[in-house]
Structure 1
Amino acid sequence: MTDFWFYLKEGIIHILDLDGLDHFYFILSFCILFSFKDWKKIIGLVTAFTFGHCITLFLSGLELVTINADTIELLIPITILLSCINNFYVLLKDKQSKQQLVITYIILLIFGLIHGLGFSNYIKMMLFDDESIVLPLLGFNVGIELAQLLIVTGLLIVLSVFQLLLKSKMRSVRLAINTIIFVLVVMMML
């Protein structure tokens, strides 16, 4: 069980690491469309990412799937840009339909799949040769889920403060945040 806790901590550290701002940008990019009243949707969205991450980490841990690391490093920011483009569409339309919410779930699942592949080499290096990957991957992904929910909670608090202060301008605030994320991710890609 100590392995589980070790990998859980590693999952938390992985998400909260300031060198991995792609996670933060991505979480922020999908959170800006929601508020605390949407907490069930948000938990589902975060879990969709973790589920995708878990699938590809497991498959790559078993060496059933491998993709060039450079390709993955390009695809990760592309998924964030897709999330931002989805946000522009929703915010400019000024309404999120059920179909658009499904698209957001799909984007999060795909990002999880892609990011799981990006992290697979690191997790393989952490495992001992005779070690089962099930418990480490479970612990790691639970850590990822917990850290993401912590970030989501903080972001929703900040968005709630903006909502209280700038009630009628929240759409503009969300558009501005989305634009900033979009620009930062383009700069990350360059």
Structure 2
Amino acid sequence: MQEFSLYFQEGWQHILDLNGYDHILFVFALCAVYLLNDWKKVLVLVTAFTVGHSVTLALSVLNVIKVPSALIEFLIPVTIVITALGNIFRRSGEPAGMRLNYFFALFFGLIHGMGFSNYLKSMLGSQADILQPLLAFNLGLEFGQIVIVVVLLVLAQLMVGIAGVNKREWTKFVSAAIFGIAFMMSLERLGALTQ
């Protein structure tokens, strides 16, 4: 049980670590179109992201798939850029756009899982039984993502519900800020990828 709690703690601390803010930005971009009363949709969305990154995290840790880390580090901000752009250009209440958000969460989760794998591999070392640590780490990541989502949803509810900011304008503002940060990050990492 001690090992489980160690990896669970590592999972949530890893996702909430401000040094790895790219994952926080992605979760923010993914959820920027929602308010507090959309919490069920958001829970499904974040779970889709977790399912995606759990699959590639497991496959990467088991060395079934191997993708150069420089490529993954470049693709992570690209996923953020695409998600933020989707928010900016989405028409309000568009059902197809909401389904697209679930696809983004699942598919981009696959990419983010490979980003988490190097960290988890370094923790596991040569440990043979990785099922419990893998499960605990993923549950910790999910918990950390839920913390991020709660913060964003409460902030969005305050801005839209209490301060009276137009929901569409709020979504565009948050998504444009995220887009700018992620675009610069993509350019930096592209330079590292091409060296």
User: Does the pair score TM above 0.5?
Assistant: yes
Q: Which runs of 4+ in 1 moved over 4 A?
A: none
User: Any idea what the Cα deviations from partners look like across 1:105-146, whole Å, max 9, x if unmatched?
Assistant: 111112211111122122122114243111011000000001
| Structure 2 CA distance for partners of 1:14 and 1:170, relative to 1, 3 Å | same
Q: Contact between 2:4 and 2:136, CA under 8 Å: does it hold in 1?
A: yes
Partner of 1:14: 14
Partner of 1:148: 145
- Report 1:1-190 matches (<5 A): 1-90=1-90, 93-97=91-95, 99-167=96-164, 169-190=166-187
Q: Which amino acid is 1:158 matched to?
A: L
Q: Contact between 2:88 and 2:171, CA under 8 Å: does it hold in 1?
A: no
CA distance in 1, matches of 2:179, 2:59: 31
CA apart distance, 1:59: 0.8
CA apart distance, 1:89: 2.2
Task: Give me the TM-score of the superposition, normalised by structure 1.
Answer: 0.93
Higher mean displacement: 79-88 or 115-124: 115-124
Higher mean displacement: 129-138 or 8-17: 129-138
Q: Contact between 1:58 and 1:133, CA under 8 Å: does it hold in 2?
A: no
CA apart distance, 1:94: 2.2
Higher mean displacement: 28-37 or 138-147: 28-37
User: Any idea what the Cα deviations from partners look like across 1:52-110, whole Å, max 9, x if unmatched?
Assistant: 111111111111101011110111011111111211222xx22221x222211111112
CA apart distance, 1:181: 0.6
User: Any idea what the Cα deviations from partners look like across 1:145-166, whole Å, max 9, x if unmatched?
Assistant: 0111111111111111101344
Please state whether the residue corresponding to 2:166 is helix, strand or coil. helix
CA apart distance, 1:167: 2.9
Q: Contact between 2:33 and 2:87, CA under 8 Å: does it hold in 1?
A: yes
Listed as ranges, the gaps of 5+ residues in structure 1 are none
State the Cα RMSD in Å. 1.3
Q: Which amino acid is 2:158 matched to?
A: V
Listed as ranges, the gaps of 5+ residues in structure 2 are 188-195
| Structure 2 CA distance for partners of 1:128 and 1:173, relative to 1, 3 Å | closer
Q: Percent identity, aligned pairs only?
A: 40
CA apart distance, 1:9: 0.3
Q: Contact between 2:7 and 2:140, CA under 8 Å: does it hold in 1?
A: yes
| Structure 2 CA distance for partners of 1:22 and 1:82, relative to 1, 3 Å | same
Corresponding pairs, count: 187
| Structure 2 CA distance for partners of 1:71 and 1:173, relative to 1, 3 Å | same
CA distance in 2, matches of 1:78, 1:49: 16
Q: Contact between 2:160 and 2:170, CA under 8 Å: does it hold in 1?
A: no
Q: Which amino acid is 2:70 matched to?
A: D
CA distance in 1, matches of 2:43, 2:170: 23
